[in-house]
Amino acid sequence: MDFEVWPEAIELGQLFAEQGFELALVGGPVRDLLLRRPSHDLDFCTSARPEEFEPILHKWGQGFWDMGRKFGTLGALRRRSDGTEVKVEVTTYRSDSYQPNSRKPEVNYGSSLEGDLSRRDFTVNAMALRVPDLEFVDPFGGANDLAKKMLRTPVDPHQSFDDDPLRMMRAVRFVAQLDFRIALSTAEALSQMTDRITIVSAERVRDELIKLLTSEHPHQGVEALVDSGLAAYVLPEIPALQLQIDEHHRHKDVYEHSLMVLDRAVALETGPDGPVPAPDLTLRLAALLHDIGKPSTRRFESGGKVSFHHHDLVGAKIARKRLKALHFDKHITDDVCDLIAMHLRFHGYVDERWSDAAVRRYAKETGPLFERLNCLTRADATTRNKLKAHNFSAAMDELEDRVRQLKEKENFDAIRPDLNGQQIMEILDLEPGPLVGKAYQHMLDYRLDEGPVDQETACAELKAWWAQQQV
């Protein structure tokens, strides 16, 4: 094997060997070495107990943590001369046992590296490299599976998924991250045991879903999630998009369309200095979920037409419920749901260009989501009609250019009514309350429609509006 191993790993191995202990690099770092992928956090296992190797880590690193001590894991950090850091976690050989209704193992220390590797999720993660002598250990054929781009469990997959159901989510996540396929026997076991995922906490499922969606191949990961049956428990709104296509193909396969929109949204993400840096979880979630309101709003109209009226607003409500159930944070949940609710907002601009007031309102209401919404809108335009596609793209370009021009004249983020709340109360002789808020909103709408005006004009508009309220 041709390895170019981290010097910190070899040095740490030497320190363990001097004390008579075995140390081996394991899991993802070994896999990534073979794939020539970067890996910044190094995982090791050892024959030593935590109390025996803790002094070694203190000697080796500049930082230390022991949050995983009850699982036999300690960590350390080394700062390199170039300012970068390498983090290591070292775990005593383990031989875990699981209770049927829990994925939390009863931790038992093992006696060998091979035994420790047998309890890992997949063969491609069950390889090791002994340090400092660099002996490659592969008892389950992980290197061969890696070459075939295949995911297979080192032990019977039923037992592996029964022990830790989260491994099923990890399987579909690795499909997305590594562009691998799941071995037939492993895939069959996964499909038979999907209900076991229900004992895993929402947070752990969410974290795997995030890794899947922010990987290089999220499309393949979502397909694996759906095809395995896991999506029925994790994200049931996605398989529900597989609506039957009518014989005349008058509406699209919503599931395939959503995957296409996800691909197109990913392609529209920018570099680190752009407005939507890749990978953008918010955009990708919105792209995947943007049409989940369609199944419940589908109506068959006269003439064989199919409608999905208000699927944008319905979809936003469904998405909010699902994202909250998966314990996504409020900020991401709000942004994703706002994007879904607004994803049809641009439609109609192609046929009838908006006034400056309408453009100003669009930019103000979309706020910090303006760039993401435009990406989602472009991604959602999947028509095969070249003329329609060209006209739509040209209209989007024009809108973005008009917004840029307006922003050069006005600070949209700072747009306020020409009269503040105190002035409104003085002019209308009102006490603080709902009426003041209603008047303030009217003046904000007026500001968005008309642009900035002088105080006299604003005062006249407020009085005219107030007179209408008294009728």
Q: Among 311, 306, 321, 309, which Cα is nearest to 290's?
A: 311
Please state which CATH number belongs to domain 239-413: 1.10.3210
Q: Could you tell me which residues come within 8 angstroms of residue 240 by beta carbon, excluding any fewer than 6 positions away?
A: 292, 295
Residue 247 pLDDT:
43
Residue 111 pLDDT:
86
CB atoms within 10 A of CB 434: 7
Give the C-alpha separation, 406 to 401, whole Å.
9
Judged by DSSP in three states, 471 sits in: coil
Burial class, 96, CB count within 10 angstroms (exposed 0-12 / middle 13-18 / buried 19+): middle
Residue 249 pLDDT:
45
Please state which CATH number belongs to domain 1-143: 3.30.460.10
Give the C-alpha separation, 375 to 87, whole Å.
36
Residue 244 pLDDT:
53
Q: Could you tell me which residues come within 8 angstroms of residue 5 by beta carbon, excluding any fewer than 6 positions away?
A: 25, 33, 129, 131, 134
Residue 263 pLDDT:
97
Q: Residue 58 has which token pair?
A: 């203190």
Give the C-alpha separation, 463 to 471, whole Å.
13
User: Taking the model in full, what pTM does it have?
Assistant: 0.84
Give the C-alpha separation, 410 to 322, whole Å.
38
Identify the segments of the chain with pLDDT beneath 70. 1-3, 96-107, 244-252, 411-414, 471
Find out whether 297 and 245 touch, Cβ atoms under 8 Å: no
Find out whether 254 and 226 touch, Cβ atoms under 8 Å: no
Judged by DSSP in three states, 151 sits in: strand
Please state which CATH number belongs to domain 149-234: 1.10.110.30
Judged by DSSP in three states, 89 sits in: strand
Judged by DSSP in three states, 107 sits in: coil
- Where is 105: in which H helix or E strand? strand 105-106
Beta strands 150-151; 135-137: pairing state: unpaired
Amino acid residing at 84: T
Find out whether 158 and 198 touch, Cβ atoms under 8 Å: no
Give the C-alpha separation, 469 to 37, whole Å.
67
Give the C-alpha separation, 231 to 244, whole Å.
18
Give the C-alpha separation, 375 to 265, whole Å.
6
